[in-house]
Structure 1
Amino acid sequence: MQISARADYAVRALVELAADSTRPLTCESIASAQDIPFRFLKSVFRDLRSAGLVRSQRGCEGGYWLGRDAGTITVAEVMTAVDGEFFTVRGERPEVLGYPGAASGLPGLWRGVESAARALLARTTIGDLAEQGASKETEDDEADRARDAAAAVTA
């Protein structure tokens, strides 16, 4: 299974917005923070805005905000907003596939893979990911402080 760059960038951008929801963020700042090509991200934001997942504000204090609460935006919804179909096999939906002979059971497998992936991504929200990122940053900061304290004691 392959996640498109558009889907990856869209999820990362929304998590960045969720992590700092006190002010609008510019596309440039999000691209820089997440190491995403700026021009590519601008086109991703057009799709996200069309889907109502972000809203924009013009002007010197402008930028992007989440269109809804981060806890209500699922990863599956984001992926569908930027990629269209959620899961395809050679560009076809699994339910329309048919294979001859010994491979005739394969479409059922593809439907199962789609169902499992959709279930996981539909229950994972942008808010969940932002919280996980904040927890990871706190753990990393605490580990850095402990390492610095240990180095100071041994010095």
Structure 2
Amino acid sequence: MRVTAKSDYALRALIEMASREGGSAGSAVSAEELGRAQGIPHGFLQAILADLRKAGIVTSQRGPAGGWRLARRADEVSVADVARAVDGPLVSVHGLRPEAVTYNEHAEVLQHVWIAARDSLREVLEQVSIGQLADRALPEEVTVRTAREEAWQSH
């Protein structure tokens, strides 16, 4: 998996919203303010917020007290939800979902690798919520993985 700028920015904007709201549907925050707080280019952030609105993750309000807020509780939105909303499927092969890819008999085992990779990503990304990120309290299953020295080494 390659984490795109879109996913990273979307998550940072949502963490910022949740931190300000205390995890509930609090007051709206402007895109300008979100962008400033997280160092996200305004035009890019607007497009990301539009994708998140389409996915039902955020809602917007016009007017002097307008801005953006979470459409659901922060603990109901996973990192996987956000990644899918802005970038599509967690794992794709030539733009297809792993189960839709076909290979000849010599390479068909490769499909199993892609499906296993997706399953592994889901194990982490679906259990971490925006609320947990805003509270800086990751699930134990995630902290156990990051406690391993090998996890921090690039290969």
Q: What's the TM-score once normalised by structure 2's chain length?
A: 0.80
2:90 aligned with 1:86, yes or no?
A: yes
Measured in 2, the distance between the counterparts of 1:15 and 1:39 equals 19
Measured in 2, the distance between the counterparts of 1:54 and 1:104 equals 40
Task: Give the equivalent residue in structure 2 for 1:144.
Answer: none
Letter in 1 for 2:66: G
- 2:90, 2:121 within 8 Å by CA — same for their partners in 1? no
% identical aligned pairs: 41
Task: Give the equivalent residue in structure 2 for 1:147.
Answer: none
Q: Output one character per residue of 1:103-125: Cα deviation in whole Å (capped at 9) or x when no partner.
A: 33111011000011012111110
Measured in 2, the distance between the counterparts of 1:108 and 1:53 equals 31
Task: Give the equivalent residue in structure 2 for 1:9.
Answer: 9
Letter in 2 for 1:45: L
Letter in 2 for 1:6: K
Task: Give the equivalent residue in structure 2 for 1:75.
Answer: 79
State the Cα distance separating 1:52 from its structure 2 match: 1.3
SS at match of 1:55: strand
Q: Output one character per residue of 1:27-80: Cα deviation in whole Å (capped at 9) or x when no partner.
A: 011111111111010011111111111111211121111101101011111111
Pick from 30, 39, 53 the counterpart of residue 49 of structure 1.
Answer: 53
Unaligned runs of 5+ in 1: 134-155
Letter in 2 for 1:91: G
Listed as ranges, the matches of 1:3-152 within 5 Å are 3-21=3-21, 22-132=26-136
Unaligned runs of 5+ in 2: 138-155
Whose radius of gyration is greater, 1 or 2? 1
Q: What's the TM-score once normalised by structure 1's chain length?
A: 0.80
Q: Which runs of 4+ in 1 moved over 2 A?
A: 98-104
Structure (1/2) with the larger helix percentage: 1
Measured in 1, the distance between the counterparts of 2:68 and 2:88 equals 22
Letter in 2 for 1:105: V
Letter in 1 for 2:97: R
